[in-house]
Each structure stands twice: as structure tokens, then as C-alpha cells.
Structure 1
Amino acid sequence: MNGMRLVQRISSMRGFAKVAPYVFPALDKAVHRLTRGRVLVSARLLPGVLLTSTGARTGQRRRTPLACMPERGGESWILIGSNFGRPGHPAWTANLLAHPDAEVSWKGRDIPVTARLLEGEERAAAWKQVLVFWPPYATYQRRVEREIRLFRVVRR
């Protein structure tokens, strides 16, 4: 089994879903800060952004490291609200629904973006691409009753 397949297999395990939400975001934020935005640890496995959004209830800025599927050479990105296959939607998705204007840090550059929740046929087409991009998302979807939210974020 090659290295990437092993990582995909491990990331599909329930134990990973219990630990990863606490370990990876903290590690990503620290390394991102120390490298002045040039490195996200999780991006060694998948492309990643650091999303800065406005809290849905608090109105405060929130920074969240996320795996993403880049589109059109870094002009837009698909963000996947998988929450590692845990029951609830991740908080950042509610933030984008309430305040779609946000910012992503991509390859060391801060880029103003606008987010849009994908629905219907557009979501179905993007979901197929997401599953080719990172097959463990199918396992995450099977674990939960909710539909995993997909957002397309585009440069403003």
C-alpha cells in the first residue's frame, strides 16, 4: 500500500475523527503563525487554507485551518464541511452562511473571498470531484445523517 492510500485509510477511521479535530487545527495555527503563513502542516497531505471568517453569533474574527480543493489555478476553492465525519456541522460553515465575505491564506498570501453554499446539481457535481480528490470524504458522509456542506469560495 502506498503512503497516500495508508493516510486515506487512517483518516477514515473513527479514532482519527475523535483525535484529529483537536490536534491538527492547533498544530496548523501554530505552524502557520511561526512560518508567517507559508506552511500548514495538514497541507502536506491535502491542499489547505487558513480561513478567516466572522463568527455567526459573536461577530468576532475566527481563524480555521481547512483542507480544500483548489479550482481554476487558485482562483477559487471548494471547502468541505466534513467535520471529520462527526455529527454536527463545523462552526465555520455557520459563519460563512451568516457572513459570506471572508479571507483565505493560500500559499502565504491573504486573499479576500466570498463564499457560497453549493446546492442541488452544482453540489452533486462538486461532490463527485471531491470524492475523486479525497475518497475518505465518502466514509465521513456515511457516518452522519446530515449532508456535508460544500462551499465555493472565490476571490473578491
Structure 2
Amino acid sequence: MSDLVITTVGRKTGRLRTTTHAYSSDDGHLVLIGPGSERGPHLPGWYRDLVAHPEAEVQLGDKKLHVRAHTAHGAERRRLWNELVASRPVYQRYANAARGEIPVVVLEETA
């Protein structure tokens, strides 16, 4: 896993918000999980922003990508979650601390 920088549109303010995340790749798409820390059950602002405004910009090194986000569900989520936990076992600790299912977010590049 490496890090990326994502710029989202704030769901309440409409302002651009930039955060850094570890990510994984799956079939040409980028994959993030939230909350991304052991802070407990709260969904992070960047995730709630993507739910409200799924278009975002990602910076990978010198490359900028325009992406559209969706939350993985069902079989897609199970498969991605298992791969993420296998590569970063700390994610299982996040799941144990959470009171609900931790979102798995897929970022698909747009034109």
C-alpha cells in the first residue's frame, strides 16, 4: 500500500478538503477504507463528503486523476475487505473497535 492525496468537496461548506490516505489497487481502481484510524465508530468527514459529492481529485505522486467514488457492498465489499485485511492486518483492529461495518470505497477514474 502507498499513500494518495484526495481532494473532496465539503458536504456542508462546499469547500475543497484535502486528506492523505493509504490505498490499495484493484483491477485498475483505487481502494480506500474509512475510518482509517482507531478513533472509534465515527465515519470520517472525507467519507461523508464523498457520499454527498462522489466526484473528487486524487494526487498520486506527480499524477492527478479525476475520480468518482462508490461504497462497495455485498460480494465486492467482502472480497476487497479480505484483501485489505490480508495486506494490512491493522484494519481488523479498526473493525473490532467500530460499532458498524467499516466502509470500503472504490475510486474509479473518470475522463
Whether TM exceeds 0.5 here: the answer is yes
Following the alignment from structure 1 to structure 2, what is the Cα–Cα distance between the partners of residues 49 and 71?
A: 15
Structure 1 contact 117–151 (Cα < 8 Å) conserved: yes
What is the DSSP-based 3-state SS (H/G/I as helix, E as strand, rest coil) of the residue aligned with 1:147? coil
- Bigger CA radius of gyration: 1
Which amino acid letter does the alignment assign opposite residue 148 of structure 1? I
Higher helix share: 1
After superposing on structure 2, the runs of 4+ consecutive aligned residues of structure 1 that deviate more than 3 Å are none
Which amino acid letter does the alignment assign opposite residue 61 of structure 1? L
Which amino acid letter does the alignment assign opposite residue 128 of structure 1? N
Following the alignment from structure 2 to structure 1, what is the Cα–Cα distance between the partners of residues 18 and 96?
A: 28
Q: Specify every segment of 5 or more residues in structure 1 that has no aligned partner in the other structure, as ranges.
A: 1-45
Following the alignment from structure 1 to structure 2, what is the Cα–Cα distance between the partners of residues 108 and 70?
A: 18
What is the DSSP-based 3-state SS (H/G/I as helix, E as strand, rest coil) of the residue aligned with 1:84? coil
Which amino acid letter does the alignment assign opposite residue 97 of structure 1? V
Q: 1:63 matched to which residue of 2?
A: 18
Structure 1 contact 53–63 (Cα < 8 Å) conserved: yes
Q: CA deviation at 1:93?
A: 0.3
| Superposition map of 1:50-129 within 5 A | 50-72=5-27, 75-87=28-40, 88-129=42-83
Q: 1:47 matched to which residue of 2?
A: 2
- The normalised TM-score by structure 2 is 0.92
**Alignment RMSD:** 1.1
- The normalised TM-score by structure 1 is 0.67
Count of residues in Structure 1 that have an aligned counterpart in Structure 2 = 109
Q: CA deviation at 1:129?
A: 0.6
Structure 1 contact 48–66 (Cα < 8 Å) conserved: yes
Following the alignment from structure 2 to structure 1, what is the Cα–Cα distance between the partners of residues 35 and 17?
A: 18
Q: Specify every segment of 5 or more residues in structure 2 that has no aligned partner in the other structure, as ranges.
A: none
The structure whose RCO (Cα within 8 Å, separation 6+) is larger is 2
Q: CA deviation at 1:82?
A: 2.7
